[in-house]
């Protein structure tokens, strides 16, 4: 069994992994400053200063079907509440019990908490409508013409898709319909790409239920988000989900149910210090949780991720992340997938069961410069992974310096051709210690001997 020769080097690496995942360095600096009032005085509200006093009260507005500050059950009333609270510098929007039917995303704003009543506050996506474009639109245009405008309304959120007329790549953009004359609709923003008929452009009322771009310091809590997948087209997690965030930071998502989206449950792209805790992401066509490209220091804790494609998908360049105490069950692909330049992440004490393709996958990527190095997989229970040739932990490509320790890997369905841990030909410095591996035809398949 492979093992690390230098225990001191292992200890130092694990210390760095833990510090990266938990942000201990910044926490210690804050604690040391707070110990001396001369170095950390009680802040005053000062123009341009990001530090704020801990105010005892901020604006709070309620939204609901009746007896609320704002009465209604659609995205317009929810958006009005978010915008009003944001205009006053932040506060809380309380979503009272009810079912809210959405024809567009609710666009979140900095310093706003969106708080519901759990299973009683349900936001559901209306069925999608789709048609082709009937006229060319250039990149600077701010209008489109639909072949069939039935079912489209002013205020709808839409997604435009086409083949790039110059290189045949895919074009995707999300907009809102803001004005209309017959089949012509004005958009809230210019297209910034050429949507020409030669690219076979289409438009559909597709959008995330909750969306945020370039915002910070928000909370989403105790809401049920339903993507109504059976009546909606697919839109992948690079653009949408029950929750979709782009270029954001300091986000807390707690106690949220994200279900039935024809795409991802919760997706965040280039977002830093996102914490997703005690959420239930289930029955989505795409990924349960999608810490997206470039996202630093995500914390994924105490969630249930069930019957999605992949439970947790670490996208490109996710670093310093922590995934712990999650139940990841019955996903049709892998329980956890980690790959392209995803480094210094800790995956520990999760229950990963009945994954359709495999338990945990370290993806092969494009060579050593792109592989998922210096990650820690410890104290997980990984049970009944993949088909007859399934693998509980599959380390592929040129992955290096990964520690896999104290995990329980079990097969209860019979050994068949199943493998507990597979180490790919080009992997290096993979530490395997203290793992319990039971019920597999091959407990450890080390393909590295083929290198020589």
Question: 34, exposed or middle or buried, with CB in 10 Å at 0-12, 13-18, 19+?
Answer: exposed
Mean pLDDT of the chain: 92
439 token code pair: 């019920």
pLDDT above 70 (res 124) = yes
223 with 315, same domain: the answer is no
Q: What CATH code is carried by the domain that includes residue 287?
A: 2.160.20.10
Dihedral sign for Cα 282, 287, 292, 298, please.
positive
Residue 382 lies in a domain: yes
Domain that holds residue 17: 1-23+306-452
- State the pLDDT confidence band at 52, using cuts at 50, 70 and 90: confident
16 token code pair: 């760095």
> Residue 409 to residues 388, 391, 435, 440: CA-CA distances in angstroms?
15, 10, 7, 9
156 with 224, same domain: the answer is no
Residue 53 lies in a domain: no
Torsion, Cα of 422, 321, 398, 389 (10° steps): 20
pLDDT above 80 (res 40) = no
Which residues, listed in sequence order, are joined to residue 267 by a DSSP beta bridge?
244, 290
Q: How far apart are CA 54 and CA 56, in angstroms?
A: 6
Cα 255 from chain centre: 15
Q: How far apart are CA 133 and CA 201, in angstroms?
A: 6
Residue 249 lies in a domain: yes
367 with 445, same domain: the answer is yes
Residue 353 lies in a domain: yes
Query: Which pLDDT does position 450 carry in this prediction?
Result: 63
Residue where a domain terminates, one of 296, 319, 343? 296
196 with 227, same domain: the answer is no
Residue where a domain terminates, one of 204, 227, 250? 204
Residue 34 lies in a domain: no
- State the pLDDT confidence band at 174, using cuts at 50, 70 and 90: very high
Give tens-digit pLDDT for 307-344: 999 999 999 999 999 999 999 999 999 999 999 999 99
Give tens-digit pLDDT for 183-202: 999 999 999 999 999 999 99
Residue 8 lies in a domain: yes
How many domains is the chain partitioned into structurally?
Answer: 3
- State the pLDDT confidence band at 386, using cuts at 50, 70 and 90: very high
Contacts of 315 (CB under 8 A, 6+ apart): 269, 290, 291, 292, 293, 295, 340, 342
Query: In b/e form, how buried is each residue of 9-20, taking b as 16+ CB within 10 angstroms?
Result: ebeebbeebbbb
Coil, helix or strand at residue 159: strand
């Amino acid at each position: 069994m492979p093992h690390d020769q230098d225990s001191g080097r292992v200890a130092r690496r694990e210390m760095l992994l833990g510090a990266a995942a938990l942000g201990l360095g910044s926490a210690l600096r804050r604690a040391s400053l707070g110990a001396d009032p001369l170095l950390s005085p009680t802040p005053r509200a000062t123009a341009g200063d990001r530090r704020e006093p801990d105010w005892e009260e901020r604006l709070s507005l309620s939204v609901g079907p009746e007896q609320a500050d704002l009465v209604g059950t659609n995205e317009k009333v929810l958006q009005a509440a978010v915008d009003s609270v944001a205009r006053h510098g932040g506060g809380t929007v309380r979503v009272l019990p009810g079912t809210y039917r959405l024809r567009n995303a609710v666009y979140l704003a900095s310093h706003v908490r969106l708080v519901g009543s759990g299973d009683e506050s349900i936001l559901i996506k209306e069925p999608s409508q789709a048609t082709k474009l009937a006229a060319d639109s250039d990149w600077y245009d701010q209008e489109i013409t639909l072949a069939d405008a039935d079912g489209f309304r002013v205020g709808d959120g839409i997604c435009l898709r086409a083949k790039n007329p110059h290189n045949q790549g895919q074009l995707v953009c999300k907009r809102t319909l803001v004005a209309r004359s017959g089949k012509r609709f004005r958009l809230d923003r210019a297209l910034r790409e050429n949507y020409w008929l030669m690219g076979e452009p289409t438009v559909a009322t597709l959008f995330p239920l909750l969306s945020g771009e370039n915002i910070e310091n928000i909370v989403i809590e105790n809401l049920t988000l339903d993507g109504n997948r059976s009546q909606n087209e697919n839109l992948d997690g690079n653009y949408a989900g029950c929750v979709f965030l782009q270029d954001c930071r300091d986000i807390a998502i707690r106690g949220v149910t994200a279900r039935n989206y024809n795409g991802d449950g919760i997706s965040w792209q280039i977002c830093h210090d996102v914490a997703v805790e005690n959420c239930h992401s289930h029955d989505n066509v795409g990924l349960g949780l999608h810490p997206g490209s470039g996202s630093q220091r995500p914390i994924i804790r105490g969630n249930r991720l069930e019957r999605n494609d992949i439970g947790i998908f670490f996208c490109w360049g996710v670093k310093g992340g922590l995934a712990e105490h999650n139940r990841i069950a019955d996903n049709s692909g892998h329980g956890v997938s980690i790959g392209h330049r995803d480094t210094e992440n800790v995956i520990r004490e999760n229950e990963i069961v009945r994954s359709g393709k495999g338990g945990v996958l370290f993806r092969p990527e494009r060579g050593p410069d792109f592989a998922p190095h210096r990650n820690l997989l410890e104290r997980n229970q990984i049970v009944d992974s993949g088909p007859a040739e399934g693998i509980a932990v599959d380390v592929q490509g040129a992955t290096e310096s990964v520690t896999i320790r104290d995990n329980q890997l079990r097969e209860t369905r019979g050994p068949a051709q199943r493998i507990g841990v597979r180490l790919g030909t080009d992997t290096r410095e993979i530490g395997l210690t203290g793992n319990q591996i039971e019920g597999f035809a091959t407990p450890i398949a080390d393909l590295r001997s083929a290198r020589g």
